[in-house]
Amino acid sequence: MDTSNPAAFVNAELLRMYVGRRVRAVIQVLRNDGGSIFGKSTDEQELVVKGHPPNPPTTFVEVIGIADSNRSIQAEIWTNFGDNFDVSSYNTICQLANGDFKHLFI
């Protein structure tokens, strides 16, 4: 039982608030060079995710890792989220989890 190391739901807009801290985001993969992924956040901005992406990644991947700048994440855990994903629901969760319902999350 432990809440000391949460991973905040973020989109690109929210990422900047968590630099140096643990986050989770879903990225639509645009380009994959094997060492990092360039993709689109759920609020449709470009992000870089560093680490070892799954091979092959699906259209959408979830990353859990440390926000290392307001445009990039150092990934620890990658999960393929498939090719069909409701980006807007996930983006809504990012907003709720950092807004009115923050106390349920972090």
Partner 1 sequence: MMFESSQFDSTPSFVSSQTADPSPSSAKTRDAQPMHPVTVKQIVEASSSDGDKSNFLIDGVSVYNVKLVGMVFDKTARVTDVSFVIDDGTGRIGCKRWVNDAQDTQEVEELTDGIYVRVHGHLSSYKGNKEIVLYAIRPVKDYNEIAYHFIECAHAHCSNTKLQKNGSVTLASSTATTPNNGQQAISSSQVSQDYSMDGLGSIGKLVLDYLQLPTSSAKEEGIHRNEIAQKLKISQEKIIEAMESLESEGLVYSTIDECHYKPVSA
Q: Enumerate binding residues for partner 1 (CB under 8 A).
A: 1-9, 24, 60, 62, 64, 77, 79, 81-82, 85-86, 89-90, 92-93, 96-97, 100-101, 103-106
Q: CB 82 → partner 1: shortest distance, Å?
A: 6
Coil vs helix vs strand at 53:
coil
Q: CB 96 → partner 1: shortest distance, Å?
A: 5
Q: CB 69 → partner 1: shortest distance, Å?
A: 21
CA separation, residue 92 to residues 19, 25, 55, 72, 88 (Å): 21, 12, 29, 21, 6
